[in-house]
């Protein structure tokens, strides 16, 4: 399927000096560009009315399905400015495929991959001036909500797909610093047969109480255990996790109840390219504690689109705290982060053709 996007340029775009001021220190997710992409769906008609237009509020009825039955999914990816002035996207096809998988699980209309990618690219083209230089990027948030007006438990017959853009600076000021994480023993994120592998708002809403608990204990992030035995490491509130051992091998929790992260998948591919053994298998909190104490575990790190890679220095829980390799960032995590970032910005070879050049 292919849709032609109507381009409606903003009548009152942000003045250049005001945009420059916002780009000096954009933070993360609080500054937005001038435009958005929008496509609508109606059962029996399919996807239609594809447009790039001024970023504005949606008119949404109080009985809109998303407000009552939580049919909502989203993605996150970035546009990166190359040294030659061009712009790269990193694996947008993978985001488009995962968006379809999320929609299928949530009983939502499937958006064609080419429409997803075209919406993202058209928005990047019209708002390219919002892409910060240096280690900054333009964070892109494609999402879909159920918009049918009804009160009744059934899949919606109408949907809105949209993409908005937010310029962001480097996630870490002064370089990635090891984070501390809290092991949640009271809350779980997902169970077998649930929506753990889906990028939907409900999963993140369910993690917020546990994240607040982590903050209360002086930690940066929360890590969840499995919902059945409360032993196996799953993922952080918004990131996947890896463990690095003294023999050079790595373990990451298997898919099923966790999000199939695109950064996670990229890391596995890069490691296997180098001949490194990566096992996707269960790993318990007791093993983590024991291996950190013995020195068998050399590093642990989390990964995701926003931060790329975050070293984990300290793990806290009601059963006691422990430190990994003195709490310092390790060479494997930092080496992988540099490689990924260099690929994203076009500074090094792209062995898997992950980069899509917008221009």
**pLDDT of res. 2:** 76
Q: How do residues 14-36 score in pLDDT, each as one tens digit? A: 999 999 999 999 999 999 999 99
Please check the confidence at residue 173 and state whether its pLDDT lies above 90.
Answer: no
In tens, the pLDDT along 292-325 reads 999 999 999 999 999 999 999 999 999 999 999 8
Candidates 175, 325, 132, 140; CA nearest to 245 is 325
* pLDDT digit string, tens, across residues 90-120: 999 999 999 999 999 999 999 999 999 999 9
Residue 176: pLDDT band with limits 50, 70, 90: confident
- The per-residue pLDDT for 202 is 95
| 166 CB-near residues (< 8 Å, 6+ apart) | 26, 28, 29, 30, 31, 32, 33, 138, 139, 141
Write the pLDDT tens digit of every residue in 191-200. 999 999 999 9
Across the range 177-204, mean pLDDT stands at: 95
In this predicted structure, the answer to whether residue 152 has a pLDDT above a threshold of 90 is: yes
**Tell me, what's the pLDDT at 1?**
64
Task: Flag whether pLDDT at 170 surpasses 90.
Answer: no
Q: Is the model's pLDDT at 12 over the cut of 60?
A: yes
pLDDT value at residue 338: 96
Helices (H), the chain: 16-24, 65-69, 92-105, 113-126, 201-216, 262-273, 285-294, 331-344
List CB contacts of 61: < 8 A, sequence separation 6 or more: 149
Tens digit of pLDDT for each residue in 31-65? 999 999 999 999 999 999 999 999 999 999 999 99
Residue-level pLDDT at 284:
98
pLDDT of residue 135: 87
Evaluate whether 106 touches 198 at the Cβ level (below 8 Å).
Answer: yes
Mean pLDDT over each residue of the chain, to the nearest integer: 96
- Kindly calculate the radius of gyration of the chain based on its CA atoms and give it in whole angstroms: 21
* % of the chain residues with pLDDT over 70: 98
Domains of the chain with bracketed CATH:
6-168 (3.30.470.10), 179-344 (3.20.10.10)
pLDDT band at 227 (very low <50, low <70, confident <90, very high): very high
pLDDT in tens, 229-266: 999 999 999 999 999 999 999 999 999 999 999 999 99
Against a cut of 0.85, is the pTM above it? yes
Please say if the pLDDT value at position 174 is more than 60: no
Using one digit for the tens of pLDDT, what is the confidence trace for 68-88?
999 999 999 999 999 999 999
In this predicted structure, the answer to whether residue 175 has a pLDDT above a threshold of 80 is no
Residues 261 and 94: beta-carbon distance below 8 Å:
no
């Amino acid at each position: 399927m292919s849709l032609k996007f109507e381009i409606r340029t903003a009548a009152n775009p942000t003045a250049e000096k005001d945009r420059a001021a916002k780009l000096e220190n954009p933070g993360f997710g609080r500054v937005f560009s001038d435009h958005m992409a929008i496509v609508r769906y109606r059962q029996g008609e399919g996807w239609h009315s594809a447009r790039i237009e001024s970023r504005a509020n949606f008119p949404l009825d109080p009985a809109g399905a998303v407000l009552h039955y939580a049919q909502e999914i989203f993605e996150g990816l970035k546009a990166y400015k190359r040294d030659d002035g061009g712009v790269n996207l990193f694996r947008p096809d993978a985001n488009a495929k995962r968006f379809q998988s999320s929609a299928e699980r949530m009983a939502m209309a499937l958006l064609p991959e080419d429409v997803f990618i075209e919406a993202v690219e058209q928005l990047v083209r019209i708002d390219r001036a919002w892409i910060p230089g240096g280690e900054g990027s333009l964070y892109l948030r494609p999402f879909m909500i159920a918009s049918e007006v009804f009160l009744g438990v059934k899949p919606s017959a109408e949907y809105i797909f949209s993409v908005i853009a937010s310029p962001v600076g480097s996630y870490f000021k002064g370089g990635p610093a090891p984070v501390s994480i809290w092991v949640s023993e009271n809350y779980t994120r997902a169970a077998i047969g649930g929506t753990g592998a889906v990028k939907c708002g409900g999963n993140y809403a369910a993690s917020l109480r546990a994240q607040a608990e982590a903050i209360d204990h002086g930690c940066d992030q929360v890590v969840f255990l499995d919902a059945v035995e409360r032993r196996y490491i799953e993922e952080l509130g918004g990131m996947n996790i890896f463990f690095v051992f003294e023999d050079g091998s790595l373990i990451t929790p298997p898919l099923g109840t966790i999000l199939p992260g695109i950064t996670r998948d990229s890391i596995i591919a890069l490691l296997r390219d180098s001949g490194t053994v990566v096992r996707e298998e269960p790993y318990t909190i007791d093993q983590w504690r024991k291996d950190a104490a013995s020195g068998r575990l050399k590093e642990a790190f989390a990964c995701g689109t926003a931060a790329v890679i975050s070293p984990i220095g300290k793990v806290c829980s009601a059963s006691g705290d422990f430190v990994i390799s003195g709490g310092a960032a390790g060479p494997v995590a930092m080496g992988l982060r540099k490689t990924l970032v260099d690929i994203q910005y076009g500074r090094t070879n792209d062995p898997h053709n992950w980069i899509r050049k917008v221009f």
